[in-house]
Amino acid sequence: MTFRATVLTLYPEMFPGPLGSALAGRALREERWSLDAVNIRDAATDRHRTVDDTPAGGGAGMVLRADIVARALDPHLDARPVLAMTPRGRPLTQARVRDLADGPGAVVLCGRFEGFDERLFEARTIEEVSIGDYILSGGEMAALVLLDACVRLLPGVMGAPSSGVEESFESGLLEYPHYTRPVEWEGRTIPEVLRSGDHARIAAWRQSRSEIDTRLRRPDLWERHIGARVGSPSGARQRTEDDTV
Ligand code: SAH
């Protein structure tokens, strides 16, 4: 089954953009996934091809009209989830990305201006998704981020099948740091343990660095990790839905 992405945007020329290069680009050419960029403006009904209007209640900026966006969206509704990129949405997580990548694809709505008329989200089943607590000028880059995260997980896209599972977040922890040759650079050497060939010691060092770095850099993740461990009946590490962020 091919992962099918349909992106609704005022700037279809932004796609596939960076997703036409590297891993995602090769996978696109190999038809492991497909990408269709649809211009929301094609759903406009007036001579000026208007898609937005001034905010009710006043204030700066413009708002994307619900009727126009719905008109653009409706022909693409099928079994795929519809995701709208918005800073008001639920923060994107690796767990959600993995679920999406396991599914038939996604229909992705990219906002512009001040965003969408809220009634769109009442009238259609749409998942509002944020890629982080900062404001972009439009949803296109957010859509590219979302799709990149999904596509790299599709079967056959990444070189080594295991390289997806040890990643940061997959275990609820940040990944350990990496090193490669030269063994010495500017007077700094690769940690001895990584050159020891002792796989058990290496695994223990990596686990410990994952834990230390997560605790120092991401106390929020660490708290959740500890909570999950304490909460499990045997005290052993158990994977839960909340495990991955
Ligand atoms: N006025 C809005 C921001 C609009 S930014 C607010 O304060 O909530 C314009 C568009 O960029 C949004 O409609 C959305 O599609 C996109 N966008 C901006 N920041 C985003 C983020 N953090 N995550 C996902 N989409 C974002």
CA of 64 to the centre of ligand 1 (A): 12
**Which protein residue has the closest C-alpha to ligand 1 atom 4?**
114
Cα 56 to averaged position of ligand 1 atoms, centre (Å): 18
Structure tokens given for 210: 């994952």
What is the three-class DSSP state of 101? helix
Residue 193 placed within a domain: yes
Structural domains of the chain, count: 2
Q: Using a 6 Å cutoff on CB, does residue 110 contact ligand 1? A: yes
pLDDT tens readout for residues 39-83: 999 999 999 999 999 999 999 999 999 999 999 999 999 999 999
Is 60 a pocket residue for ligand 1 (Cβ < 6 Å)?
no
Average pLDDT over residues 3-32: 98
Residues 140 and 201 in one domain: no
What is the distance in A from the centroid of ligand 1 to the CA of 63? 12
Residue 236 scores a pLDDT above 50: no
Residue 235 has pLDDT above 60, yes or no: no
Mean pLDDT throughout 4-28?
A: 98
Angstrom distance (rounded) from CA 94 to CA 243: 10
Contacts of 215 (CB under 8 A, 6+ apart): 222
Tell me, yes or no, whether 67 and 137 share the same domain: yes
How far, rounded to the nearest angstrom, does the alpha carbon of residue 106 sit from its chain's CA centroid?
A: 12
Indicate whether 161 belongs to any domain: no
Alpha carbons 82 and 245: distance in angstroms, whole number: 21
**Would you say the CB of residue 56 lies under 6 angstroms from ligand 1?**
no
* Domain closes at, from 151, 181, 210: 151
pLDDT of residue 170: 79
183 and 82 co-located in one domain: no
CATH of the domain at 90: 3.40.1280.10
Which ligand 1 atom minimizes the distance to the CA of 92? Answer: 23
pLDDT of 1 reads 81
10 Å CB burial of residue 147 (0-12, 13-18, 19+) is buried
Q: pTM for the whole thing? A: 0.92
> Ligand 1 atom 23: the closest Cα is on which residue?
130
Distance CA 132, CA 130 (A): 6
pLDDT at 238 over 80: no
Query: Which ligand 1 atom sits nearest the alpha carbon of residue 133?
Result: 22
CB 190 within 8 Å of CB 224: no
The closest alpha carbon to 103, from 19, 29, 1, 7, belongs to 1
Considering the domain architecture, whether residues 114 and 19 belong to the same structural domain is answered as: yes
Residues 62 and 174 placed together within one structural domain of the fold: no
Instruction: Give the confidence band of 126 by pLDDT, cuts at 50, 70, 90.
Output: very high
For residues 141 and 170, state if they share a domain: no
**Model confidence over 127-167: pLDDT tens digits?**
999 999 999 999 999 999 999 999 999 999 997 665 566 78
Handedness of CA 170, 171, 172, 176 (dihedral sign): negative
128 and 43 in a single domain? The answer is yes
Instruction: Determine if ligand 1 sits within 6 Å of the CB of residue 83.
Output: no
Q: Which two tokens stand for residue 130?
A: 């944020």
Q: Which residue, among 14, 30, 123, has the nearest Cα to 77 in the 3D structure?
A: 123
Q: Which tokens sit at 134?
A: 């900062």
The residue whose CA is least distant from atom 3 of ligand 1 is: 114
Closest residue by CA, ligand 1 atom 8: 87
Q: Are residues 99 and 170 in the same domain?
A: no
Residues 47 and 136 in one domain: yes
Q: Is 85 in the pocket of ligand 1 (CB under 6 A)?
A: yes
- Report whether 244 contacts 170 (CB < 8 A): yes
3-state SS assignment for residue 40: helix
